[in-house]
Structures are given as C-alpha cells and as structure tokens.
Amino acid sequence: MTHAPLDLPAKHTVLRSFAGHLEAQPDDVFAVLLEKLAAGDENGEHFLADPAERFIVVQGDWWYRGEYRVLPEEDGGGTRLEHEILNVAQIAHWAGAITGRSVVAAAPAAFGRLLTEIDAELGGYPDAE
C-alpha cells in the first residue's frame, strides 16, 4: 500500500464519528496521539500526519480510513479530540460498510481507551461524547 494521502478519495462515507475532551493542551495531545498511532505502523505505509493542522490519517485494508483531529477548545480549556471512521472503498463501496461492521462496533470502546491512555500520559480528565 502507498502512503496514506491527506486528501479524501472521491468516494467515501463516514461510518462513525467520535469526539472527546481532554484537559491537556492540543500540542501535547497531538504529540501523544502521534506517538501511539505511529507505533502501530512499523513500515510507515499506512499513516500520515500534518502537525501544523494537528491532523492524522490512518489508512488500512481496502476500505478503512481513520481520521483524527486535535482541536483547541473554544474557551481555551483543553482539547477536543475528534475521530472518524470512513469507508473509502472505491470499488464495491457498498461492501466496505459490511466488511467493517466489527471495526465500527468495537470503535466506541477503542476510542474510550484511547482517551484514557492519553489522559494517563498527560494527567487530565477525558470526557467522551
């Protein structure tokens, strides 16, 4: 697989979206998230990050794309972490959602664990939406 592109493919569907709040600053959250996600991609082929935008793409299999956005809270009180799971299958797009059912079903718990892990490293209090 080639490096994950930052731009979305022409055909894509959002399958699930998540957001959570962390008390830590956005740059700190991005650094921890970057380290966690990059560690799972030994070859660096399924992962791309834009530090200036605090945006990370994780591309996997033929249908999966995960996007992470690390945003400052409007009141300056911490960080909003957003995560979307997208079906990016260009051929047999309909099959991506079926193939990804187990990933989508497991995603709420996985996102909660991610918030907890980042919180543990940075010492804040996560709130998932």
Domain containing residue 21: CATH number: 3.30.530.20
pLDDT single digits (tens) 28-63: 999 999 999 887 655 556 888 999 999 999 988 789
Answer whether residue 7 is part of any domain.
no
73, part of any domain = yes
Share of the chain above pLDDT 70, in %: 86
**Domain annotation covers residue 80:** yes
Per the domain annotation, does 3 fall within a domain? no
Report DSSP state, residue 14: E
98-113 average pLDDT score = 95
Answer yes or no: is 5 within a domain: no
Average pLDDT of span 73-98:
92
* Residue range(s) defining the domain that contains residue 119: 13-128
Residue 36 lies in a domain: yes
Instruction: State residue 2's pLDDT score.
Output: 39
Q: Which two tokens stand for residue 93?
A: 């797009």
54: left (phi over 0), alpha (psi -120 to 50) or beta: left
Q: What is the structure's pLDDT at 42?
A: 53
Does some domain include residue 71?
Answer: yes
Asked if residue 115 belongs to a domain, the reply is yes
Report the percentage of the chain scoring pLDDT > 90. 71
Indicate the number of domains in the chain: 1
Q: How far is CA 88 from the centre of its chain?
A: 15
Q: What is the pLDDT of residue 74?
A: 84
Q: What angle do CA 37, 38, 44 make, to 5 degrees?
A: 135
| Whether the predicted pLDDT of 66 surpasses 70 | yes
